[in-house]
Amino acid sequence: MSSALFDPLQLRDLVFKNRLWVPPMCQYSVLAEDGVATDWHWLHYGALARGGVGGIIVEATGILPEGRISIRDLGLWNDRQMEALRPVAEQVKSFGARIGIQLSHAGRKASMFPQWGFSVEGPMPKSDGGWSTFAPSGVPFDGYPAPVELDQRAISRIVDAFGVAASRAMEAGFDFVELHGAHGYLIHEFLSPLSNYRDDQYGGDRERRTRFLVEVLRAVRSAIGNAPLLLRLSATDWAAGGLTVDDTIYIVRTAVAETVDLIDASSGGTTPTAAIPVGPGYQVPFATAISRATGVLTAAVGMIDSPELAEHIVATGLADVVLIGREHLRNPNFAMHAASTLRAEISKVAPGPYLRAYRR
């Protein structure tokens, strides 16, 4: 039987063997705190690729040391980090999957304790290895230290750093790049009126709030040539006075003009008090609304954990790609399971040594 989920997808010159991908998920596993990938990353991403997915987006990777979410995040601000990521990319591609990397600056939500390995949570003070954070405005995230407001020189430095990191990603062998413009991190902080109080060319109406994103997109596109460029956005802040889907559609139209190839539609992250109605597929309508209003390809993400739901999303045109995270942590072979459940051609998903598991 045919399955829309296991149909190929082409972005520019890059063909993905199916539409079931792994989204970026922080591992907090750089125990040396130097941003350099380890055997954990090689094994983790290799296992996911062996499981049969069409694409993998490596976790949020800091473009600058102060842009990391935590001290245990990956980085791509120097060549040593680039060389450590090269075997990760090679391993994933050896299993027929495409690999991208999410480039990120965490803004005012940087310098956090990692989500495992520590007995405390929240912002990491400088006495424990934390650092000053930076944002469009000196307004703190609830319960966090106030960030330093970025001036023009600092903004230009960050834009340049995105471009340099993207260039390193290409040199390391990645197939594509995703920019992290969601979840209350720096790009999202510029976009949202809940975190951007500037009155210069980077703040005010939504055109000016989008300027920083446009500059980053131009720097990254220049660095990666014809490679696909993805953008993760929070389609709504889920809060009064914050970003709405209509705002995001405006942002996407601007991004498409800057040659973004696919929108990864997520939500939230600007305020911890947002009332988010979490449930299976709760963010899928954002991907659908963005696609229908702009014509851009979209990826749906968020509590999609069954083959049937994933198939429905793609087969009915609600999104072009399904990103499944937590279920892949529970079962790195989820793609094989999905293909078997949906009666797709299993030989195109499972590696040869695993095919016996699906023979009756």
Helix, coil or strand: residue 105: coil
Other C-beta atoms within 10 Å of 66: how many? 18
Residue from 45, 29, 34 nearest 101 by CA: 45
Directed axis angle between helix 79-94 and helix 152-171, to 10°? 40
Please check whether residue 223 is in contact with residue 213, taking contact to mean a CB–CB distance below 8 angstroms. no
Q: Is the dihedral of CA 350, 354, 356, 357 positive or negative?
A: negative
Please check whether residue 109 is in contact with residue 141, taking contact to mean a CB–CB distance below 8 angstroms. yes
d(CA 319, CA 265): 10
Which two structure tokens, joined as six digits, stand for 302?
Answer: 């968020």
d(CA 244, CA 202): 19
Residue from 321, 179, 325 nearest 251 by CA: 179
Other C-beta atoms within 10 Å of 259: how many? 15
Please check whether residue 193 is in contact with residue 212, taking contact to mean a CB–CB distance below 8 angstroms. no
DSSP string over 23-81: PP------TTSSS---HHHHHHHHHHHHTT-SEEEEEEEESSGGG-SBTTSEE-SSHHH
Active site residues: 185
